[in-house]
Structure 1
Amino acid sequence: KNEPINFDNRDRISKAIGDRYIVQGAHKGLQIHSRIAPTYGYIFDFPGNPSVTTTLKFNRNDWGVTHMDDLQYLFNSTLLYAPLVVGTPEYKVSRFMTQAWVNFAYSGKPNVNHLKNIWTPISDPLNVTVLEINSLNRMIPFPFQERMDFWTSLQLQFDYSVFPIVPR
């Protein structure tokens, strides 16, 4: 549509920029890597605190879960946030994530003891599945597939010259 960028259409603009510069590359990476090795993708969808959104004083209802929100649950940065409290949903998500990452580093499989085989590798690069990390933790089809199909249909090329440190 031919309309000015404003607060009312920020969601569409945010999705377009995020899709082009983050999601599309992550999706393509999952597809390519899953052809040669077990590949475990995830979507972080837990609207807890801490959050990048709330740290930046944005309204969670306007922005939801954002890029990098998962990092607070892996590293529990007490420099920026209060320590996680044992037994809270935030603590449980953090515990799940840290156990999964440690198990992946140790065994090559991100399984958590009480949830064996919940996180399965991608079996079909054309139908990517990912773990949706929230209070449920379940495998789902890649949730942005329709948007990825749109970007792929444009057959855009990425200009690596703007990133001179990337090897050619």
Structure 2
Amino acid sequence: MKISATSLCPLGFLSTGDKTVPGNNGLKDQNLAIRWVKKNIIHFGGDPNCITVWGQSAGAASAHLQMLSPWSKGLFNRVISQSGTGLAYWAIAPNDTAVRNGKKLASSFNCSINSSTEMVECLKRVDAYELTERQHAFYEWFIDPMMLFRPVVEPNIENAFLPEHPAEIIKSGKAAKIPFLTGITTQDGAFRSSVIFAKPNLVEELDANFSRIAPLTFLYDEIATDKDYVTRRIKEFYFDNNTITNSSKMELTDVYTDAMFLTGANNALWLHLNHTDQPVYYYAFGYRSNYSFLDLTVNDSYNYGVSHSDDLLYLFLPKLAFPEYEPSASDENVRSTLTSLWVDFATFGNPTPNSQDYKKWKPVQSTNLEYYFVKNDTSMAERLYWNRTQMWKSFPLM
């Protein structure tokens, strides 16, 4: 079952911080859909005891959070999270932030915020389109903060979907005891950096106001206990304290890749490795053809590498996005490899049950985070972007 998270807006993730609207309605909707599949899949020739929940980006974080919720006990048998986990910095909103954003939204429609009930009743009378569009008015720089309304922990709420932070759920052994597969594309962050470099004024603004913008756009504004320190280290490590210019494209891509995807994957993997007895599989997707989803958002011939969503070109037919798409022999080979790995994981809980077909994909076995590198061919490796990983691990982040 493919999980999407299109309700990353007030309709799906408004939270009043109390029982009026505890939050996570989008995740609860997904859970109801999974329950429907569990109940009815047998009527479509499926096996109710062989269900895989699968998502990409926000959907990947959603799939992982489904795995961690007490609502999901016994509902599915494996999880695939592509470029996102419930441990990503953007996946969970601090409760005070969620409540504050809800009140900000309500105030913009002249709704009373004296009580949660009054506020919600007023918001219900607002047109749904206006409600979702209004959040764009709260951007502080470009499209940041990207997601004002996100999943939250629901403390002291009966039958909460997320009664604890995802990290605490994994540590306490309460996550679903099922195989988990996750990973990133090698330049996942290019979907952010490429758009910034398409607008020269944004590059200048980022450089001139780095200390203000960096915490916001690199997602540590709400979680760093020393934002100035983190900001200084990022400028030093990635940019060598130089001016950010048009020649800094890959450096900025790396920051976004690490802040948005690599760190969340690593944090989830370390926790699952140490606190579960189920196999965890890690991958990096590094194959780039002549097509990229960046082609749909920027008019730039620069090769940013393998961007966010580019792996989807080899799992779904891309003709709608790229009508002229004609796959090369290498494209077809990668598509065959990736679909076989995913289908075998969904079927057996092991992406290479028959290692005669492909190089054996071993689960993560140590804190070095062994991973499967998918390019024209496949190979096992470890310590993906390790210097960058260790730096983010050292940051004072909650």
TM-score range, shorter chain: 0.7 to 0.9
Displacement of 1:27 in angstroms is: 1.4
2:159 corresponds in structure 1 to none
- 1:122 aligned to 357, 364, 368, which one? 364
1:165 corresponds in structure 2 to none
Q: Distance in 1 between matches of 2:290 and 2:308?
A: 14
SS in 2 for 1:139: strand
Q: Structure 1 stretch 37-46 or stretch 12-21: which is displaced more?
A: 12-21
- 1:33 aligned to 260, 269, 272, which one? 272
2:98 corresponds in structure 1 to none
- The 3 A distance-change label for structure 1 pair 34 and 60 is farther
Instruction: Give the letter for the 2:287 counterpart.
Output: F
- The 3 A distance-change label for structure 1 pair 115 and 32 is farther
Q: Distance in 2 between matches of 1:93 and 1:60?
A: 23
Displacement of 1:134 in angstroms is: 0.6
Matches within 5 A, 1:66-145: 66-81=307-322, 82=324, 85=327, 88-111=329-352, 113=354, 114-116=356-358, 118-124=360-366, 126-145=367-386
- 1:10 aligned to 233, 249, 253, which one? 249
Q: Distance in 2 between matches of 1:152 and 1:129?
A: 17
- The 3 A distance-change label for structure 1 pair 12 and 51 is same
Q: Structure 1 stretch 13-22 or stretch 98-107: which is displaced more?
A: 13-22
- The 3 A distance-change label for structure 1 pair 47 and 59 is same
Q: Structure 1 stretch 87-96 or stretch 49-58: which is displaced more?
A: 49-58
Which deviations, in whole Å up to 9, do the C-alpha atoms of 1:45-89 show, x marking residues without a partner? 10213312344433353x11212211111112220124554x710
SS in 1 for 2:279: coil
SS in 2 for 1:121: coil
Instruction: Give the letter for the 1:122 counterpart.
Output: V
Instruction: Give the letter for the 2:290 counterpart.
Output: N
Instruction: Give the letter for the 1:73 counterpart.
Output: Y
Displacement of 1:20 in angstroms is: 1.4
- The 3 A distance-change label for structure 1 pair 30 and 21 is same
Aligned length: 154
Displacement of 1:112 in angstroms is: 6.9
- The 3 A distance-change label for structure 1 pair 109 and 83 is farther
CA-atom RMSD, angstroms? 2.1
| Higher RCO, 1 vs 2 (CA within 8 Å, ≥6 residues apart) | 1
Normalised to the residue count of structure 2, the TM-score between the two structures is 0.36
Q: Is the 8 A contact 1:103 1:111 kept in 2?
A: yes
Identity %: 27
Structure label with greater radius of gyration: 2
Q: Structure 1 stretch 97-106 or stretch 45-54: which is displaced more?
A: 45-54
Q: Is the 8 A contact 2:281 2:364 kept in 1?
A: yes
Matches within 5 A, 1:148-159: 148-157=389-398
Q: Is the 8 A contact 1:74 1:98 kept in 2?
A: yes
Structure 2 residues not aligned, in runs of 5+: 1-239
Q: Distance in 1 between matches of 2:253 and 2:358?
A: 36
Q: Distance in 2 between matches of 1:16 and 1:65?
A: 15
Normalised to the residue count of structure 1, the TM-score between the two structures is 0.80
- The 3 A distance-change label for structure 1 pair 65 and 112 is farther
Q: Is the 8 A contact 2:359 2:379 kept in 1?
A: no
SS in 2 for 1:31: helix
Q: Distance in 2 between matches of 1:139 and 1:83?
A: 30
